[in-house]
Amino acid sequence: MLIKTDYGEIVEFKTSRTAFGRPLYLAHFFLLDGLLIDTGPAHTATEVKRALINAPVNQVAITHQHEDHTGNCSFFEQELKIPIYAHPDTLIIMKSPPPVPIYRHVIWGSQPPANGLPLSSKLVTEKYTLDVIHTPGHSIDHVSFFEPVNRWLFCGDLFLGEKLTGFMVGENIADHLQSLKKVIALKPKVLFCGLKGRIENATERLISKYEQWWNIGLKVKELYKAGISRNNITKIVFGGELFFHYISQSNWGRCYMVDTIIDNLSIFNNQ
């Protein structure tokens, strides 16, 4: 599935593999003035090629190394000969992608190897200059792109919605909160999110997310200090795991949010 929405200066591409006519998990990428931000998952390669083979793309920038963002890099690099820019850690994964867990392969597909160039501090198009901001937490290589005149923030998987209550193995709450603080300080007006697409009231939504996670952190800290086990904290705070935890073969879970909060307990002081 690929749905193209024209927002004037920015074109949004909403993609997903479908099962029984329903999208499995959405991945959005965006085109701004010849700059393509992310490329969608490999399972949507046919639709992406059809939609973009003659599109005015002259450079690609990647927010992070996950396969729903890098899945079609090889098409742009090898078939269209368009340069791809990414964080140095993203480039390492892109060049030699490790096998992904089965559920990720089923939903998004594995990314074919691709080469790119390291991002510098700015991304320049004909009309715009975007700041490249390192925003780790979701992954160590995660970057966001900020256009300061219109206050557009292309935030990859930094946001994903306020109510997200689970992490993949390895996500880091301290980095995540720090990254949210960093982008909130920019006062963005519109978010362009990997999962949710275009979102208005960007700063308010980011603050709301920050506060929800902060409050979860305080609650987990209180329970942990009271001697409650990690398993029981997950049950008390979240009501247990979502079904996706089991689908992901324990690669994603609310327990990892609890774990990373406990690993970073010292940051959760009453502000």
Residues that bind Fe ion (CB under 5 A): 66, 157
How far is residue 93's CA from residue 70's CA, in Å, rounded to a whole number? 10
Helix (H) or strand (E) holding 151: none
Query: Which residue number has the CB closest to Fe ion?
Result: 66
Report the first-to-last Cα separation within the chain, whole angstroms. Answer: 45
How far is residue 3's CA from residue 9's CA, in Å, rounded to a whole number? 17
Q: Kindly state the smallest distance separating residue 232's Cβ from Fe ion, in Å.
A: 29
**Nearest to Fe ion of 37, 223 (CB atom):** 37
**Nearest to Fe ion of 77, 157 (CB atom):** 157
**Nearest to Fe ion of 55, 140 (CB atom):** 140
Q: Give me 208's structure tokens.
A: 């709301």
Q: Kindly state the smallest distance separating residue 27's Cβ from Fe ion, in Å.
A: 9
Q: Kindly state the smallest distance separating residue 250's Cβ from Fe ion, in Å.
A: 18
Residues 95, 72 contacting (CB under 8 angstroms): no
Q: Which positions ≥6 away from 53 have C-beta within 8 Å?
A: 80
Residues 191, 206 contacting (CB under 8 angstroms): yes
Q: Kindly state the smallest distance separating residue 68's Cβ from Fe ion, in Å.
A: 7
**Nearest to Fe ion of 33, 162 (CB atom):** 162
**Residue 171, Cα to own-chain centre: how many angstroms?**
12
| 3-state class (DSSP) for residue 224 | helix
Q: Kindly state the smallest distance separating residue 10's Cβ from Fe ion, in Å.
A: 20
**Residue 216, Cα to own-chain centre: how many angstroms?**
21
The burial of 132, by beta-carbon neighbours within 10 Å (0-12 exposed, 13-18 middle, 19 or more buried), is given as middle
Q: Kindly state the smallest distance separating residue 236's Cβ from Fe ion, in Å.
A: 28
**Nearest to Fe ion of 55, 132 (CB atom):** 132
**Nearest to Fe ion of 157, 259 (CB atom):** 157
